[in-house]
Structure 1
Amino acid sequence: MAQDSEDAPGLMERGAQMFLEGLLKEVEPRLDDLQGFADQVGPAMRGFFEEMGPALGDLMSKVEDWSVYEPPEILPNGDIIIRRKPQTPEADPEIGQEAPTDPIDL
């Protein structure tokens, strides 16, 4: 009897196993949906990356800091533009020192 109790899973282990089995049952249909979506969209995405990959790679190498740009905007005519964010006060290259960031109280 002592050997049976050592081999049998404890209460915590059984609870964890039941929790994980329940979680798997909940997630499984969503994983099937995701697989179906991947099967449907995969060929189109593959074609997009084959065609646009080199151009996107070239663009990525030319832009040093993406944080200075707004998110892309699609215009009514289908053009896509990426605007630069308004400049924040930074170092003035002509003077060689930082511009003041706090307003001056008079």
Structure 2
Amino acid sequence: MEATHLNNSDFEAQIIKQRLKLYFTPYIKARYEILVVNDIFAHSYNFFFNIYRPLKLPHSIPLRRITFYRLEFLENVVANIRTEYKFSFVFRNFGKQRWPSNFTLISKQ
């Protein structure tokens, strides 16, 4: 069953958006971001939802692990999520990699 959805970026984005809807409750003065980590050893991308509220400890909620390890696929998933949620995206462990569509650096750090 999983193999039918392995290469479908819309399916992966829908799962992430459903989980974001489950965990997102707007608070005044809160910061929200989606952390995307490139796991070079397991050849996967991990998505986390980070919540920073004043006078509270930060929360990091794991959303999804994508095992289809292609930058074009990741770019489609991120673009699909950005259509509905306008959170900041933070990319870790991408080094000097660039997006395939416009050749801009993925991570500015």
Q: Shorter-normalised TM-score: what interval?
A: under 0.3
* Higher RCO, 1 vs 2 (CA within 8 Å, ≥6 residues apart): 2
TM-score by length of 2: 0.26
Which structure has greater strand proportion?
2
Name the one with the larger helix percent. Answer: 1
